[in-house]
C-alpha cells in the first residue's frame, strides 16, 4: 500500500518534497522520486510484499519503462510464474508483475490482474504512458493538468493540489493513455438469466467456497495480517474465516473500538472469545470523538454526513490496529452484495435486484471504499476487502432474489448466514444488522454536538453561500471543516453522496 505521484514533465525539488510529504501517511517506510527524461515519478511506500527490494519506482531491465503502483496484486505469484518463462524480474514486488504483464501484453494484460490497484507506467522510449485503476476503485486515483498542460496523477486530492487546482477522480475499472483516452477494461455485469434455478445448497456452497478463497488470497503478505471486528455478521465472518485459515503459531489479532458500554465492544469481545483471536479494543471519549472530526474530514477528503459518521470509528480502530499490524481485513461490501439494505426489498425480480446491486457496488469507490482506504491509510495501514472479490461478486449475482431479500419471514442476508452455518455461535450468526456508527456509540454524540454548535441562523447562512444544498446541521458542520482543508471548487465535484443526511 502506497502513495503514488506521476506526471508528464517535471516539478522542482521543493515542490516534489511537498508532494511526498503530503502522502507520507500512505507509505512511511520509504520515499523516493525519480526525474526521467519525459516524466517525474514519486512514491511513498508501505512495505507489505518484497520487503527488502520493492522500493518504487520500479523499472525494467533497460530502464525504458517505469511503474509506480498503489495496492496489491493478489494473483501475482501465478502471473509471475508464467511470465518468468520469458521475462527477467529484478525484485520480489507484486507491483513489478503489473509492469511486466503490461510490458509484454500491452493494455490487455491489465485484465489479468486480480487485486486492488492504481498505477502509472511511464514509457521513456515512446514518451507515452498508461494509468489504470482497479475494477471497483478500491484504490484511489485522481488526475488533472497543470498550468503547462502536463498530466498529473496522484493517490489523494491533497497531493494533487500541491501541483494543480484542476482535479478529477479517475474512473474505476478504466485505463488511460494519451492516444486512446479512457477505456473501460472491466465492469461488473448482470449475469445472463437461466430458466433453471439451482437448489439453495448449491448457492450456499458456492458462496462459502468463494468467500473463503477471497479471505485466503487477502492473507498473502510478508507481514502480519489482522482483522477489524465490530461483532456484526460481516466482520465476524471475515474474522472467523481468517482465524481458521491462519497458519501462524500465534492467534490472529482482532480490533474493535467504541464509546464506553457501546454494543460493538460487547459483541466483538464475545465473538473474539468464540473464534480465538487475540483481541484489542479502545474506548474513546466524547471529547476525543469531537476533536477527531476535522482530522477525519481532512483524511477522508469528503464531508458526506453518513460517510463522516462511519469514518470516525474507522479512524480510531485503524489507529489501534496500526500499533500491532500492517494489514487488516474488513467486512466492507457484504450489505451491497447480499442485499442487506431494507430498501432493496422493492426490487422483486432477480434481474432488477442485480441491476441495483451492481449500481451501488459501482458507487462504492467514493463512499464506503473511500472511507476504508483513507481512514486506514491515515494511520499507514493497508485495508483489504474480501467481500468485494470479483469471483465472489459473480457467485452472489447468481443467487435468485427471493433467497436474498429481507422479508417478514426472512432475515437480511439470510443466504450469507446459511452459507456459514456453524462458523459462528448461532446468536451471532443470526444477529440483526446495526449501523457501525450506531453500534460504536458515535451517532448520538455527533448529532447532539452538531445541534449545539450550528445555530439555525448559521445553517441558513451557509446554505445560501454553498453551491450545493446542505441537508442537516451535521452536514453543515462537516462542510465547514471540509472547506477549510479544501477551499478549491473542484474538490466538491469529487464528493460521493449517500441518500441520507
End-to-end CA, the chain = 32
**CB within 8 Å of 398: residues ≥ 6 apart:** 191, 198, 203, 206
Q: Are 386 and 218 in contact (CB under 8 A)?
A: yes
Residue 455 annotated as part of some ligand binding site: no
Q: Are 185 and 168 in contact (CB under 8 A)?
A: no
Residue 330 annotated as part of some ligand binding site: yes
User: Which residue of the set 2, 69, 256, 476 is catalytic?
Assistant: 2
Residue 437 annotated as part of some ligand binding site: no
Residue 166 annotated as part of some ligand binding site: no
Q: Return the bridge partners of 328, or none.
A: 226, 383
Q: Return the bridge partners of 41, or none.
A: 6, 34
In whole angstroms, what is the distance from residue 98 CA to residue 86 CA? 15
**CB within 8 Å of 285: residues ≥ 6 apart:** 259, 260
Query: 91 to each of 30, 62, 100, 124, 352, how far by Cα in Å?
Result: 16, 14, 11, 20, 47
Query: 448 to each of 90, 445, 452, 453, 473, how far by Cα in Å?
Result: 56, 5, 6, 9, 10
* 2 among known catalytic residues: yes
Residue 456 annotated as part of some ligand binding site: no
Q: Which grid cell sits at 134?
A: 482497479
Q: Which grid cell sits at 67?
A: 511503474
Query: 152 to each of 127, 166, 178, 197, how far by Cα in Å?
Result: 15, 9, 12, 49
Give the residue numbers of the binding site. Answer: 94, 228, 257, 330-331
- Tell me the catalytic residues: 2
Give the residue numbers of the binding site for L-glutamine. Answer: 94
Give the residue numbers of the binding site for ATP. Answer: 228, 257, 330-331
Amino acid at each position: 500500500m502506497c502513495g503514488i505521484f506521476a506526471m508528464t514533465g517535471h516539478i522542482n525539488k521543493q515542490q516534489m518534497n511537498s508532494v511526498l510529504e503530503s502522502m507520507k501517511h500512505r507509505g512511511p517506510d520509504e520515499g523516493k522520486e525519480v526525474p526521467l527524461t519525459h516524466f517525474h515519478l514519486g512514491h511513498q511506500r508501505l512495505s507489505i510484499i518484497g520487503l527488502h527490494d520493492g522500493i518504487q519506482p520500479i523499472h525494467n531491465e533497460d530502464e525504458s519503462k517505469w511503474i509506480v503502483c498503489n495496492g496489491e496484486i493478489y494473483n501475482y505469484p501465478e502471473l509471475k510464474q508464467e511470465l518468468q518463462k520469458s521475462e527477467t524480474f529484478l525484485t520480489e514486488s507484486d507491483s513489478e508483475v503489473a509492469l511486466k504483464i503490461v510490458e509484454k501484453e500491452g493494455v490487455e494484460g491489465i485484465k489479468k490482474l486480480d487485486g486492488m490497484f492504481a498505477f502509472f507506467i511511464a514509457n521513456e522510449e515512446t514518451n507515452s504512458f498508461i494509468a489504470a485503476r482497479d475494477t471497483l476503485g478500491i484504490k484511489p486515483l485522481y488526475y488533472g493538468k497543470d498550468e503547462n498542460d502536463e498530466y498529473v496523477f496522484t493517490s489523494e486530492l491533497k497531493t494533487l493540489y500541491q501541483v494543480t487546482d484542476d482535479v478529477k477522480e479517475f474512473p474505476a475499472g478504466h485505463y488511460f493513455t494519451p492516444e486512446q483516452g479512457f477505456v473501460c477494461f472491466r465492469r461488473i455485469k448482470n449475469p445472463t438469466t437461466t430458466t433453471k434455478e439451482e437448489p439453495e445448497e448449491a448457492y450456499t456452497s458456492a458462496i462459502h467456497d468463494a468467500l473463503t478463497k477471497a479471505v485466503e488470497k487477502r492473507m498473502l503478505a510478508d507481514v502480519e495480517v489482522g482483522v477489524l471486528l465490530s461483532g456484526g455478521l460481516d466482520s465476524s465472518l471475515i474474522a472467523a474465516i481468517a482465524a481458521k485459515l491462519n497458519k501462524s503459531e500465534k492467534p490472529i489479532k482482532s480490533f474493535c473500538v467504541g464509546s464506553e458500554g457501546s454494543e460493538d465492544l460487547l459483541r466483538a469481545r464475545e465473538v473474539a472469545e468464540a473464534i480465538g483471536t487475540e483481541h484489542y479494543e479502545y474506548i474513546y471519549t466524547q471529547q476525543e470523538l469531537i476533536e477527531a472530526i476535522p482530522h477525519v474530514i481532512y483524511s477522508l477528503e469528503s464531508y458526506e454526513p453518513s460517510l463522516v459518521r462511519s469514518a470516525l470509528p474507522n479512524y480510531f480502530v485503524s489507529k489501534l490496529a496500526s500499533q500491532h499490524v500492517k494489514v487488516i481485513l474488513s467486512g466492507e461490501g457484504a450489505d451491497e452484495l447480499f442485499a442487506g439494505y431494507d430498501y432493496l426489498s422493492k426490487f422483486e425480480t432477480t434481474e432488477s435486484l442485480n441491476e441495483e446491486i451492481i449500481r451501488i457496488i459501482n458507487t462504492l469507490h467514493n463512499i464506503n471504499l473511500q472511507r476504508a482506504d483513507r481512514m486506514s491509510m491515515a494511520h499507514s495501514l493497508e485495508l483489504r476487502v474480501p467481500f468485494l472479490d470479483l469471483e465472489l461478486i459473480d457467485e452472489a449475482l447468481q443467487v435468485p432474489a427471493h433467497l436474498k431479500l429481507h422479508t417478514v419471514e426472512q432475515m437480511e442476508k439470510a443466504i450469507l448466514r446459511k452459507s456459514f452455518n456453524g462458523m459462528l455461535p448461532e446468536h451471532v450468526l443470526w444477529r440483526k444488522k446495526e449501523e457501525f456508527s450506531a453500534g460504536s456509540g458515535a451517532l448520538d454524540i455527533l448529532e447532539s454536538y452538531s445541534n449545539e454548535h450550528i445555530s439555525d441562523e448559521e445553517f441558513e447562512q451557509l446554505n445560501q453561500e454553498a453551491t450545493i444544498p446542505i441537508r442537516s446541521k451535521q452536514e453543515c458542520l462537516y462542510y465547514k471543516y471540509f472547506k477549510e482543508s479544501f477551499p478549491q471548487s473542484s474538490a466538491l465535484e469529487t464528493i460521493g453522496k449517500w441518500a441520507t443526511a
